Structure 1
Amino acid sequence: MPASTADPIRVTVLADSDTRWKWGALTARRIAPEARLDARLLRGRATPTERQLAEVGIPADSMREVTAAQFLAGISRDTADVVVLSCVGGTVQAMLHGLARAWQGAPRRPVVVTGYVGVVYEKLADGLLLRAGADAVLANSAHDAQRFREVYGGVGADAGTVVETALPFLEGKPYEPSGERPFTVVFAVQPSVPDSRKDRTYLLRRAVDHARFHPEREVLVKLRSKPGEHTTHIEEQPYQKLVSKLDPPKNLKLVYGHMGEVLDRTDLLVTVSSTAALESMHRGIPTAVLTDLGIREALGNHHFLGSGAYASWDQIDSGEVPRVHPEWARAQGIASGGDPFRTVRERVTELAAAPGLPPLAPYYTTVTAPGYLPGVLARHGLDPKGEPLPGAATEPAESSALRRTVRDIARNSARAAYRQGVQRVAPVIRRWGQL
């Protein structure tokens, strides 16, 4: 894969959030376990903080925060063998065009890999076509691989780029009940599901009530981020602020930390639709996917149809413990055994050893999507040809402390504007529409 057998393999991961860094870095390790790992964190609203990176706990040989233009300028000079684009779909599309431009005329180029961080429960065609053009588009299960190929085949894109793998963080020791600690229920929350204050307060109140009903149990509310931090999705109603009004009992605690370490002491995981459910199921931990707010596409819990994991807080309060159906689990790439990354390793090795790869060819072009693609590229500082807009690549590199301060101010202002729009402006507009 590298230029000579004596050179270490180099993998560069571009990530735009803590969760996507986790997926990208672990995917890189599964593809090339001994590779040099270079992290490039895309500057934006969800750029991970030092605390979030420490919580993920995946070291890199180098790590820098970059803009899209800076990444493209640097990648043309770097000697990466593989580039993993672990970003939202629009960013992947912009980087595919930018990389195609940056590598134009080069005798060799790296292999480009992309995929999804977790469950794909919405915007299937939209997200997939934005990723079309990478050398390998990873599907986290046989179920996803079939859906992905159908989408690509349906528009004439290359379905052969879809490679079945599994979520790279499905690991950890199998579940064994422990008599040395209290029975532990973990409520794994999500930043954006549900999104309303009413629904989030309801779920949190039910967790508090469960702790009161079962004083012999320990109830942990597993949080994704601290107030002011962002992850893959914006969290407008942090659970930390909501819990203070509910007077929780002492056996309910808010916890942060690595999900795998929390699962080590979990006897029952409860969630709406978090990817943590798949981690839990993989380890054989009893897992409940909540139905209190319905089974709806907007919540993402429809993904678990046929799993046997559905339960309400009432059922959990009464002592019910769901068990996942093995057939469903296997179709989702959970506890399936074997090495789910063998195929992608072979594919990447074969491509990297080829005398020369063809230029990257994203599905969207200014011919096929002239009213859509330019806007996607412009949001990332690129023109319709994939070149950085004037001045984008030469943005001054201010001190990290100043950058964090400015970014925090901008985030807080954006959240205030968002709340103003949702709570005050939108209701007025709706009333006008009813006149």
Structure 2
Amino acid sequence: MPASSSHRTRVAVLADSDTRWKWGALTAHRLISDSALDGFLLRGRATPTPRQLGEVGVHADSLREVTAVEFLRTTGRETYDVVVLACVGGAVQAVLHGLARTWEGRTKRPVVVTGYVGVVYEKLADGLLLRHGADLVLANSRHDAERFRSVYRGVGADASGVVETALPFLGGAPYDGHTCGDRPYTVVFAAQPSVPVTRADRMYLLRRAAEHARKHPEREVRVKLRSKPGEHTTHIEELPYQKLAARIPGGLPANCSLVYGHMGEVLDRTDLLVTVSSTAALESLHRRIPTAVLTDLGVREALGNHHFLGSGCLASWDDLDAGHRPEPDALWLSRQGVAADGGYEDAFTVARERVAALLSAQALPHLEPYYTSATAPGYLPGILARHHLGPQGEPLPGASAVSEETGGVRRIVRSAVRDVARGAYRHGVQRVAPVIRRMGEL
């Protein structure tokens, strides 16, 4: 039922990383003005730590870690109005099939919403088809909405669920120019966990940031990091910048530092945002902060900076060293949802109306993802099995959810074992895997 004075709309958000939790929870707040929000963190390699959750700064009425099967059991037992799936594509597809099985036979079920946390520059068809089946697939811009519909129509799938919105975390005070004497002119390099990949490329970017600080001693250069060593976010970070900084000859200059924190707060004191292809560029552009997307390592699909073709933001460190300040193209900004027509708040109007209409409906149709045992018999079973689900979305034997009555000692032991396993995995990713790759190159 729609929200009213006697009913707060109940929303469940399932997320598998800190950035996706931020997107999912803020999307829920944008779509439902007054909601009771229950957060569920999908257990895996990127499950956020308390520090990461605190840095995101988005709160819920309740928040706990679950498996996919536990989430399905909860949504089958509890009464939710809206379910937001803020996960990687494979997890979304598995949960969609699981929800279809869980809610089978119901005439009234929750509205299911999904989408992307940022710039969609790779695996467009793969990621979209894995998200198909939700009532709403949110596109963060007009550009994305057109691409999404084209993919769905191209395979003969229903494209009516695609709804144009914008990134839910855009905001903050518009940049009005640097005020001399108030603070140093501040350049922020927004680092990314997985782009670029190689040690040489990552060292190059860090070295150039340090060199920019040395060439401009009157400026402050800040390298904004997403996670600390041992933590993971949406992407795996094998070569943390914290460790690479120790290899800079002479160390980082006094006016160059590594920083953490909420991106909005970092942008509050930013005069120039520099990145390879981070979504932070869109946050910065939304606030009219001068923004540079680096071309030093090429303009390549693998880097994601090809997404910014036509933006007016492409530049090199040499350009920035010489004082260049990119001027963004207004038409490109509008198509990317950065300067949504009619104002940023209006960007969610259609999605809000669609959700309200579905909540008011007497009944909703059965969830029908594009991938089925008929359309993808060699692909779908593996996706479902990774989340301990059978071919019809049913929990596999041995995948039963942990009872709420489970003893406290058992929960503590299980949590400790998971932490050890997660630590071993991260050690393998950050230490062992790079060594094996280097040995293979000999």
Give 1:33 shift: 1.7
Contact 1:108 1:357 in 2 (8 A): yes
Partner in structure 2 of residue 334 of structure 1: 338
Partner in structure 2 of residue 189 of structure 1: 191
Give 1:79 shift: 1.2
d(CA) in 1 for partners of 2:123, 2:297: 21
d(CA) in 2 for partners of 1:388, 1:290: 46
Contact 2:273 2:289 in 1 (8 A): yes
Give 1:64 shift: 1.2
Give 1:394 shift: 3.1
Partner in structure 1 of residue 436 of structure 2: 424
**2:235 aligned with 1:224:** no
Contact 1:221 1:253 in 2 (8 A): yes
Structure 1 gaps, min length 5: none
350, 354, 364: which one pairs with 1:357?
Answer: 364
Give 1:323 shift: 1.3
Give 1:393 shift: 2.4
The verdict on how the C-alpha distance between 1:308 and 1:224 changes in structure 2, with shifts beyond 3 A counting, is same
d(CA) in 1 for partners of 2:138, 2:262: 24
TM-score, length basis structure 2: 0.94
Give 1:3 shift: 8.5
Give 1:41 shift: 0.8
Contact 1:10 1:80 in 2 (8 A): yes
TM-score, length basis structure 1: 0.95
Contact 2:230 2:427 in 1 (8 A): no
1:359-391: CA deviation from partner (whole Å, max 9, x where unpaired): 000100011111100000000110111011122
**2:122 aligned with 1:122:** yes
Q: Does 410-419 or 45-54 show the bigger shift?
A: 410-419
d(CA) in 2 for partners of 1:365, 1:151: 17
Contact 1:84 1:114 in 2 (8 A): yes
1:247-284: CA deviation from partner (whole Å, max 9, x where unpaired): 11111111110000000000000000000000000000
**2:432 aligned with 1:409:** no
Contact 2:2 2:356 in 1 (8 A): no
SS of residue matched to 2:77: coil
348, 352, 355: which one pairs with 2:355?
Answer: 348
The verdict on how the C-alpha distance between 1:426 and 1:206 changes in structure 2, with shifts beyond 3 A counting, is closer
Contact 1:2 1:10 in 2 (8 A): no
Contact 1:283 1:335 in 2 (8 A): no
Paired residues for 1:130-279 under 5 Å: 130-176=130-176, 177-179=178-180, 180-246=182-248, 247-279=251-283
Structure 2 gaps, min length 5: none
AA at the equivalent of 1:196: T
Partner in structure 2 of residue 55 of structure 1: 55
Instruction: Give RMSD over aligned pairs.
Output: 1.7
Percent of matched pairs sharing the same residue: 68
AA at the equivalent of 2:436: R
Give 1:350 shift: 0.4
SS of residue matched to 1:224: coil
The verdict on how the C-alpha distance between 1:400 and 1:317 changes in structure 2, with shifts beyond 3 A counting, is farther
The verdict on how the C-alpha distance between 1:181 and 1:400 changes in structure 2, with shifts beyond 3 A counting, is farther
Contact 1:13 1:38 in 2 (8 A): yes
SS of residue matched to 1:323: coil
AA at the equivalent of 2:285: M
AA at the equivalent of 2:86: S
SS of residue matched to 2:91: helix
**2:32 aligned with 1:39:** no
Contact 2:3 2:34 in 1 (8 A): no
d(CA) in 1 for partners of 2:173, 2:291: 16
SS of residue matched to 1:143: helix
Q: Does 125-134 or 246-255 show the bigger shift?
A: 246-255
1:298-326: CA deviation from partner (whole Å, max 9, x where unpaired): 00000000001011111111111111111
AA at the equivalent of 1:424: I
Contact 2:46 2:232 in 1 (8 A): yes
AA at the equivalent of 2:127: G
The verdict on how the C-alpha distance between 1:234 and 1:407 changes in structure 2, with shifts beyond 3 A counting, is farther
SS of residue matched to 2:160: helix
d(CA) in 2 for partners of 1:59, 1:103: 28
Give 1:193 shift: 0.3
